[in-house]
Copies of this chain bind each other. A is one copy, B any other.
């Protein structure tokens, strides 16, 4: 295979494939074709094959893909082949829902620390995680936590993001509606739930 820059869209789809494959694996499936996987996901089979081909291709011609092998490969690409420790900053309504959310596990993501400013929350334990003061954020470097979920109020977002970066965090899932200004070696993915709901009326009403 010749050199190709890997499209961002391909990376965006990998976790979708992974989720479906994990489900199939759980059901005891061993093999899958691009055609069938595409049908399950509503994608085009060529797109699936092309996505995998950027990484060398994981299939067997005439046969298809071995599901567990494919899972291993995608996890490796996404660097999810080892457990990734994550910190949560801001244990409000959304934050505490996230602390209790079980959907991260399948991806090898584990929330290992939670922080808040409110004295009434500090010390409380949610889902086995003791809430710490945000002043303890600097300890993330020592604890080798490189990922963070930010769910503080909007006006505290930039400030806390800055602290996270200073504490060695290099990837932030920003659940606030704030635009974060960050050094460009830091990856920020912003996810404002309201913005998704706001697109629905256009299509349907």
Contact = CB atoms under 8 A, between A and B. Distances in A.
Interface string A2-22: 000000000110111011100
Nearest to A6: B202
Contacts of A173: 193, 196-197, 200
B79 A149 contact: no
Interface string A58-84: 000000000000000000011110001
A103 B92 CA distance: 14
Interface of A: 11-12, 14-16, 18-20, 40-42, 77-80, 84, 86, 92-94, 96-98, 100-101, 103-104, 106-107, 109, 146-147, 149, 170-173, 177, 179, 185-187, 189, 191-205
B171 A187 contact: no
B198 A15 contact: yes
